[in-house]
Amino acid sequence: MRISIFGLGYVGAVCAGCLSTRGHNVLGVDISAAKIDMINQGKSPIVEPGLEELLAEGVKTGRLRGTTNVSEAILASDLSMLCVGTPSKLNGDLELDYIEEVCRQIGTALRDKNERHTVVVRSTVLPGTVHNVVIPALEQYSGKKAGVDFGVAVNPEFLRESTAIKDYNFPPMTVIGELDKASGDALEAIYAELDAPIVRKDIAVAEMIKYTCNVWHAAKVTFANEIGNIAKAAGVDGREVMEVVCMDHKLNLSQYYMRPGFAFGGSCLPKDVRALSYRAGQWDVDAPLISSLMRSNAVQVQKAYDMIDNHGSRKVALLGLSFKAGTDDLRESPQLELAEMLIGKGFNLSIFDSNVEYARDHGANGHYIKNEIAHVSALLKSDLDKVVAEADVIVLGNADPRFEKLAKQVPAGKKVIDLIGFMPERTNGAAEGICW
């Protein structure tokens, strides 16, 4: 394919080298004449192991060259990759001046092109940037319509400095955010030969995926450092601890706890987070990430309450009182906390949880349920259909499979708030998800 790459910094230069080596005809574009001269001499404008060899090979075979002429690049290519910088402003927001300027230039060049051209944003941009900044600039300066006269896609990069070429050739996945199918098809053709899944999503989803990955990496580094600091204060080598922690791919390094939804609860997580935070404080170890976990958990409970309150009706059904389906355990249950908030605010609340109801009369938790939270247990009902019928707002509180059908087919005249993830889509009419 004929590809033009705008911005020959770290990402752009690596992409130029890798794509040209894989047989594509690549035209690198940059406002820096010095960078263009280096590219055309087969030299690398950045320090990256193995990159200069790729660039030199691309120039030697005629598959790679550089130019400062935007119009030339657009007319001589079928697809353009935007790899320009998006640095931070002083207030932390993204600086989009470079993106806007290159889109104006590309849009102007597209006026003179009759063939369909696809513009791919490879720069790291926040969700909404392509729809609110990139596409309007391209349309304004080209006089054409995105998705009709030209294509638009997002293709976030996951390249690490010093291992970028290996990361390009052996990615965990290739993410494509597409405005339309034709745009996604054009981009997928470039990566079809890589041995990695190709994930095609809406543009905003692809934009968010990149940020989520980077912030998750930052969170992991911070978490490991805080554990290391606390471990050292306890006389323990944190490296030994994390080495064993990372051996667990069933829970610790897995999808298990990585699904957006309601707050955590139960007999272990809350008390252990509090205990470790407390002991860190005793040892004068500052652990702001770990110390913030309980506060963040409380925010999620408050968010669920606010969603219920925003519907305006006082008739609410809470389906699931235990923190987890298949158990009667109410210790630190965020569902119980939510019920307490609703009762305290005067909602007409009904609760269905067959496990908790059984435990009230037969289980070891019976005394606690009947006496310690009598005001809550008195609201337990045994007839699920009746609880649903008498409520205006139905809250799916845990993953009991009996509740799933309510998220997929909301009863007429009702509103469903899904705290679990039963909903098949982000929006589902009368159903609303806590994080989707």
Q: Is the pLDDT of residue 306 over 80?
A: yes
pLDDT at 428: 62
pLDDT at 44: 97
Task: Return the structure tokens found at 395.
Answer: 């809250």
DSSP E strands in 116-234: the ranges are 118-121, 151-154, 174-178, 198-201
Q: Do domains 2-201 and 296-433 have the same CATH topology?
A: yes
**Residue 88, strand partner residues:** 94
pLDDT at 176: 98
Q: Is the pLDDT of residue 142 over 90?
A: yes
**Dihedral of the alpha carbons of 28, 34, 39, 44, in degrees to the nearest 10:** -120
Share of the chain above pLDDT 90, in %: 96
pLDDT digits (tens, 9 = 90+) for 174-211: 999 999 999 999 999 999 999 999 999 999 999 999 99
pLDDT digits (tens, 9 = 90+) for 45-93: 999 999 999 999 999 999 999 999 999 999 999 999 999 999 999 999 9
Q: For 349, list phi and psi in degrees, rounded to 5.
A: -105, 135
Mean pLDDT over 12-34 rounds to: 98
Concatenating the DSSP letter of every residue in 360-386 gives HHHSTTHHIIIIITHHHHTTB-S-HHH
Enzyme catalytic residues: 268
Annotated binding site for NAD(+): 10-11, 30, 35, 86, 124, 271, 331
Q: Is the pLDDT of residue 4 over 90?
A: yes
**What are the domain boundaries of the chain?**
2-201, 296-433
pLDDT at 243: 97
Confidence of residue 280 (pLDDT cuts 50, 70, 90): very high
Mean pLDDT over 98-115 rounds to: 97
Mean pLDDT over 153-173 rounds to: 96
Annotated binding site for GDP-alpha-D-mannuronate: 161, 210, 214, 217, 225, 256-257, 259, 262, 265, 324
Give residue for tokens 């997929």: 408
Average pLDDT, the chain: 96
Q: Is the pLDDT of residue 321 over 70?
A: yes
pLDDT at 362: 86
CATH architecture of 296-433: 3-Layer(aba) Sandwich (3.40)
Confidence of residue 429 (pLDDT cuts 50, 70, 90): confident
Rounded Cα distance between 192 and 176, Å, is: 12
CATH architecture of 2-201: 3-Layer(aba) Sandwich (3.40)
Confidence of residue 361 (pLDDT cuts 50, 70, 90): confident
Q: Is the pLDDT of residue 427 over 70?
A: no
Q: For 28, list phi and psi in degrees, rounded to 5.
A: -85, 140
